[in-house]
Amino acid sequence: MKKKFLNCLLLLTVIFQFAKAQDTIPILKGSVNISIAKGTFDCDIILENIPRIKNYVIRLNSGMNILYFKSLDKNFLISYDKALNDTSSTHESIGYFFPDNTGKAKFLPHSLEMRYTGKYPIATDTVINYSRQDWKGNIAFNGYSVRTDGFQTCWYPVLYDVTKDVI
């Protein structure tokens, strides 16, 4: 029941984020396993109906470790780069993109699978574990819940159109 709720919540959140910004609404589906006890995210996500954007990044939390990005159009793994000159980043997330065959432009498939995982500390006592490095943009576990903040924490992939400055 919890897993279905989390999957529905994920889908609704992402649809709302994309519906505000783009004509074509991408569809996000897959599985997300969150362990409150271990402080982990294990994600196998599919992003379909991706709009044609030439200048984009796909934001993902900087604590997530990517296993792979795969184009589902022709079923092949995609090499990726990090957008090191991303002026809109607040460092909680990293912008990824897929260079095309020339290395001068970006490639974006119509359907994309991504598998990634992240592990975060569990602070059960906020007085003892107080940190000036904690703010709402961080993913935080406290032993009985997890705190995330949509676009800023990017625990799910966020497609960002750099030219139009919209998610």
Which ranges constitute the DSSP H helices of 116-159? 150-153
Residues 31, 7: contact at Cβ < 8 Å? yes
pLDDT for 123: 81
Q: Where are the domains of the chain?
A: 2-161
pLDDT for 127: 59
For residue range 65-82, what is the model confidence (pLDDT) as tens digits?
Answer: 999 999 999 899 999 999
Q: What is the pTM of this model?
A: 0.79
Cα separation, 109 vs 48, whole angstroms: 9
Using DSSP, state whether 119 is helix, strand or coil. strand
Instruction: Provide the token pair at 114.
Output: 């991504």
Cα separation, 40 vs 36, whole angstroms: 7
* DSSP β-bridge partners for residue 114: 45, 69
Residue 129: half-sphere exposure toward Cβ, Cα within 13 Å? 11
pLDDT for 32: 96
Cα separation, 64 vs 154, whole angstroms: 9
Cα torsion angle, 5, 11, 17, 87, sign: positive
Angle at the Cα of 74 (from 56 to 166), degrees rounded to 5? Answer: 15
- pLDDT in tens for each of the 167 residues of the chain? 566 555 555 555 655 555 555 578 899 999 999 999 999 999 999 999 999 999 999 999 989 999 999 999 989 999 999 997 766 666 788 999 999 999 899 999 999 999 999 998 888 776 565 565 655 567 888 888 888 876 677 899 999 998 887 87
* DSSP β-bridge partners for residue 93: 61
